Amino acid sequence: MPGTAPYRSTARAQVAALRSGTTSARALLDQVLAHHARVNPSLNAVVTLDAAGARAAAEKADEYLARTGRPLGPLHGLPITVKDSLETRGMRTTCGSPELSDHVPGTDADAVALLRQAGAVIIGKTNVPALCRDIQTSNPLFGKTNNPYSPDHTAGGSSGGPCVAVATGLSAAEVGSDLAGSLRLPAAYCGVYALRTSRGAAPVVPTRGHIPRPPGWLTGSDMLALGPIARTADDLDLLLDVLAAPAPADRVAWSIDLPAPSKRSLGQYRVGLWADDAFCRVDAATRDLMGQVARTVREAGADLDETTRPVDFAESNLLFERLMYATSAAAADDEVFAAEVAAADTVTDDAPSALYLRSRTMRHRDWARADEDRQRLRVKWADYFTTHDVLITPAAPTAAVLDQTSVPPQDRYITVDGEKRGFFDQTSWVNLASPVGLPALVMPTGQTGEGLPLALQIIGPYLSDRTVIAMATLLAEVLPAAPTAPAPTA
């Protein structure tokens, strides 16, 4: 990025400058903090700033490099923020909840510990909806995070603060969390790259220390995945090298060695393109984007399948919802859960709350059978990827929708080509990969007539995280770039 301020360059470029001595960790941090003072007040992306702690960490990095001639690690001196749902030692971690307004963890979440071990300088925490329970980013403690392209449109959620911070140069990169598209949806709306990493019996990126599981819990959701957010696909790979690791207790015997992509050029790939579907129609701008993707991939010589349908969209989405509601019940208050059990016993089949209540309170036998359905769905995907290397889909039905944080949840909706649709239709496309733990990457490309970024999703087979990153890198060379996020001043 010629002419770009150092803190707006790629994370990999910043690390290279720090290692070579072109800049120091302290000098780079001071630039970021000055940028933060100008930009963050109008965005409200970073809600807790630890300038003193960051300066101490940066000075330690500079001293270590001067004394030993070696970097602290692959992220030596890199200034980054951390999503406020990940516990961070010595730094207030609230997950946007008033009940946790004074929570200062004594230990790091496993993913945060990996960042520190790699030499990253953690400067603060980024905003989330309360307990990550919304696909917009606003909470009673800190208020709303603004989309940098348009304050009238949502930044998405729950990783809205992280995605805005990366998009506007407040952070070199970030780690987000994704259960129901909480990582990929805001990435699509904010014009950045994000990767939901593979998840099988265990996640590729350890999840202990993620809230809304209560602070101190050792277990997490069986559907939650963490992953990197960055301004380029290459930077996703840089962070993946750091984050892909077993939980600490398993490291005496396990290691994670994700395979390299097997193909080098776009023309070598067998590509499925699922451009639209009656279950979740996309708008005209997104259809045009998918058409452009098809032409570009075909012209590159790739084997393109435009009739591809790996699974039944509706069945997959229903299974996802059942499993999501079930896992969310684990941390419910006893009285709340007892009331839900009572309500589930009397709710009628046609009631709007029936799916939610029955899924939240399902018996273990019912969950085991739903899990069997999940494993069968995984087999279908695995079979699909014997004849396809990747699947490209829309990231969402539209670009960023209008913000509705002030609208009661039951009254929220989105509009697709003039048609009112359910509010959570926003997440349907990203939720294709969620129940089966496949790696799924969102990349920005192109824009709407209003200047909002558009995005596509790349899904790959289990543990092919590096392949979907490689595919994004190749596509970025031939597809139009998304507009750069403006950096408003206070």
Cβ atoms of residues 395 and 442 within 8 Å: yes
Q: How far is residue 395 CA from its own chain's centroid?
A: 12
Q: Which of 443, 2, 456 is nearest to 194 (CA)?
A: 443
User: What is the DSSP annotation of 9-60?
Assistant: S-HHHHHHHHHHTSS-HHHHHHHHHHHHHHHHHHH--EEEE-HHHHHHHHHH
Other Cβ atoms within 10 Å of 56 Cβ, number: 13
β pairing state of 121-126 and 46-49: antiparallel
The catalytic residue among 158, 159, 171, 221 is: 158
Q: How many residues comprise the chain?
A: 490
Q: Is 420 a catalytic residue?
A: no
Q: Is 158 a catalytic residue?
A: yes
CA distance 106 to 226: 21
Q: Could you identify the residue written with the tokens 């004074």?
A: 102
Q: What tokens does 61 get?
A: 């990095």
CA distance 41 to 31: 16
Handedness of CA 33, 164, 447, 266 (dihedral sign): positive
- What is the helix, strand, coil percentage profile of the chain, to 5? 40, 15, 45
CA distance 351 to 141: 33
Handedness of CA 316, 319, 325, 329 (dihedral sign): negative
Q: Is 83 a catalytic residue?
A: yes
Q: How big is the CA angle at 354 (ends 349 and 357), to the nearest 5 degrees?
A: 145
Q: What tokens does 415 get?
A: 């509009």
CA distance 201 to 370: 15
The catalytic residue among 9, 83, 198, 359 is: 83
CA distance 490 to 45: 13
* Range 441-467 burial, b when 16+ CB lie within 10 A, else e: bbbbbbbbeeebbbbbbbbbbbbbbbb
Q: What is the DSSP letter of 136?
A: S
C-alpha count within 13 angstroms, C-beta hemisphere, residue 91: 28
The catalytic residue among 182, 221, 316, 434 is: 182
Q: Which of 133, 134, 160 is nearest to 229 (CA)?
A: 160
Cα 96 to Cα 129, 158, 260, 389, 427, distances in angstroms: 6, 10, 38, 39, 21
- Residue type at position 313: F
Active centre residues (catalytic): 83, 158, 182
